[in-house]
Amino acid sequence: MTSRPVLLVIAHGSRDPRHAATVHALVRRVRARRPGLRVETGFLDFNIPSVPGVLESLAAEGVRDVVALPLLLTRAFHAKADIPAVLREAPARLRIRQAEVLGPSPLLTATLERRLYEAGLTPADKSSTGVVLASAGSTDPEAIAVIAEIAREWRHTGWCAVRPAFASASLPRTEDAVRELRALGCARVAVAPYVLAPGFLPDRIARGAAEADVLADVLGPAPEVARVLLERYDEARVPVPAALGA
């Protein structure tokens, strides 16, 4: 029986120790959901182990198959350039498939709602509450369009209004979106950080939420996020059938 590929979760890394702690907590939840699956963690910057270091270790052990999963919510620079470049430098004996990024996914939207309810809202508050969907931001138009589309779709689930906001690279900022929702007449305003782990940009989102009524926590090691990781792993490890006549 062919063994399952190793799942290598690739995180960005941060000088903020909360970032790595959150990544490791999420990976522990993934392991708990899929006993027997080997899950490793590598960081692109700031933290150890590094992605190249993990890949070298796996090759030295005799591992052949790896699914590399970017711990990212949108397909921006890191997913399109940074991570493929690192994987191209991996030991030649490794067969590596890069999984898709986590978002968008209904499970991530469910996590956003979970965090809002944990912060004090209830489903009965939806129709009178405006939500700021606050992401890290990107210069990549595809990534910005995805955030805007998530906000549009989430609005249709019953919230008073949903507006995207960005901590860097793009506009509007969180504080501006909060004020816009106030001006629309929403009875209360909540900020939902669409980020995976604490750090510099999530802290900027939190400062921008100073005038909001509710600030939710980051997505973090929520069970729905762990499920998305395993979905992306399963999609990447199962070969896509060749087209007829190819």
The pLDDT tens digits of the residues spanning 99-153 come to 999 999 999 999 999 999 999 999 999 999 999 999 999 999 999 999 999 999 9
First-last CA distance in the chain: 28
Taking the C-alpha atoms of residue 216 and residue 233, their distance in angstroms, rounded to an integer, is 28
Give pTM, 2 decimals. 0.94
Taking the C-alpha atoms of residue 147 and residue 103, their distance in angstroms, rounded to an integer, is 9
- With CA atoms as reference, report the closest residue to 101 among 122, 126, 127, 82: 82
- With CA atoms as reference, report the closest residue to 10 among 60, 47, 57: 47
The pLDDT tens digits of the residues spanning 151-174 come to 999 999 999 999 999 999 999 999
Taking the C-alpha atoms of residue 229 and residue 225, their distance in angstroms, rounded to an integer, is 6
